[in-house]
Amino acid sequence: MKERKRIVVIGGSAAGPKAAARAKRLDPDAEVTIIQKAPEMSMASCGYPYYVGGVFDNRNALLSTPYGEVRDPHFFVHTKGVKARTLTEAVSIDREGRTVRCRDLHSGDLDDVPYDKLILATGARPRKPPIPGVDLVGVTTLQSMKDADFLRRIRDDKSITKAVVIGGGLIGIETCEALQLSGIDITVIEMLPQILMFLDWELAKILENHVRSNAANVITDVKVAGFVGENGQLTGVKLENGTELPCHLAVLAIGVIPNTDLARDAGLDIGQTGGIAVDDFMQTSDPHIYAVGDCVELVHRITGKKTRAPFGDLANLEGRVAGENAVLGNQVTFPGTLHTGICKVFDFSAGSTGLSELRARQEGYENVVTVINASLDKPEFMGAKLLISKMVVDGNTGKILGVQCVGPGDVAKQIATAAMALHGKLTVADVVNADLPYAPPFSLPIDHFIATAHLMENKLKGRLKSMSPIELKKNLDAGKDPFILDVRTPDEFEAVRIGIGETLIPIGELRHRFEDLPEDRDREIVCFCKISLRGYEAALVLESAGWRNVKVLEGGVMAWPFGREK
């Protein structure tokens, strides 16, 4: 009789249950057990901010299958054939004896669970700075169901009017929105010069401006010095610049630390980034132990370097690989991460995949070329919305290194398309004629992603001589005096304008008003319009008429991240 494999999974959030279910599907005779410290299992933790914000009210939706069944131990044993032990802590691993010592958190009793293959999915814990007052009542995180319940009670009770979110990353911005929608006055504090560090500064600034327009304050480039309180209760957040922000709630969202204590104590290798070291099979330094999810380090698919990527989708994919390898032997691999991500920022979205310009330069790429494209996601008559994208390319090879996109349009589609282009290691030349789906309800005839690639192709071939908003602002601040040409209509100019000394000459009048342009044909002229499509046409007109130093402001008015005159 075939001996049953014993598969033990430690951790029951995302990666663990996926690994357990995959193992059981591929080997129905396997004895699969999940050890979970928390009372809940298979939590949709990325949904916590939306539960807190009242997007939906059914708490069980965070724990349920698509058909509404709660994923509890009863579900796992009867539907999946997997034994699940909640409120049970794995306290140590005996690698030689291949057992896991567990503690029942109700009774305190200890027992040993034997395994043939062990899968660690121990996740990560919130980073909490060692600063005064961090343990005051009212200082919390948004990492667990307990945290989500706490913040949801605050929302429902309407007992708090002011809150501070520390950290301007994904979770911080999503939490900001959730609390602001609950009627709470929010301030976001970010120690770095910008929010959402997966974006380059100019796109992040557009998002920061949007957050402010939705009545939430943002303070960047400043650290939190401590939390102040009375009788153990938070009353304010003190910044290093001396400012004190009164509040009764502070949410820490400054990243996570991988839970590697169990692995470290068992003598498993820990990687250079602090996560458990695994190979392509998700196997640790012990051939009988795999590790998945937020506790591991991965390979960045562009740089080849080790990185951590604590994302729910990757956790599930890693779990699937480890579960299969645990029962069938090492047959499938996980290739690593592109750091693809997206978040909702009120009625905008922000997404990226691959390398930002900043990261590409830090990684040593010698010829980084970028372009910004502002355009619509579909025809105007179909309710078009704006998209602003930035493409980052290795100028020596034409290989796409990264894409970022923000705006109220369909950002998810853009980033998904870009991620597959990176997955395929495609160049700009590969995608300029990509066969993407088109119909007016969904896209322009030339999709925004392809249009961005067209701009990049023109730039690489020297046909588009452009300037980013940051470059123009830097030149103006340095005292340079380009002739700035706005080629929109007078009505557009009256409605919105940048206010940097621009001259208005509508594109339709340009050929008849050359006398209003600089006599010096070598003086720099910077052309733009709403999105700089007409700006590009104007530049071509001027070049054909003999002006020799004509640039286009990338993204036009819509991608200008600095203050405007009106």
The catalytic site residues sit at: 46
Contact in structure between 507 and 537 (CB atoms under 8 Å)? yes
Q: What is the CA radius of gyration of the chain?
A: 27
Cα–Cα distance, 423 to 551 (Å, whole number): 33
Angstrom distance (rounded) from CA 130 to CA 318: 32
DSSP symbol at 58: -
Determine the Cα–Cα distance for residues 517 and 524; give it in Å rounded to an integer. Answer: 11
Least Cα distance to 89 among 74, 70, 102 occurs for: 102
For the chain, the straight-line distance linking the first and the last C-alpha, in angstroms and rounded, comes to 80
Can you point out the beta strands (E) in 302-448? 306-307, 341-345, 348-354, 368-376, 386-394, 400-407
Asked if residue 192 lies in contact with residue 220, where contact means CB atoms within 8 angstroms, the answer is yes
Distances (CA, A) of 59 to 66, 70, 86: 14, 10, 18
Signed CA dihedral, 71, 76, 77, 83: sign only = negative
Backbone phi, psi, residue 492, to 5°: -65, -40
| Residue 2 DSSP code | P
**Residue 253 in tokens:** 């969202």
DSSP 509: G
Beta pairing, strands 368-376 & 550-553: unpaired
User: Residue 540: in which H helix or E strand, if any?
Assistant: helix 533-544
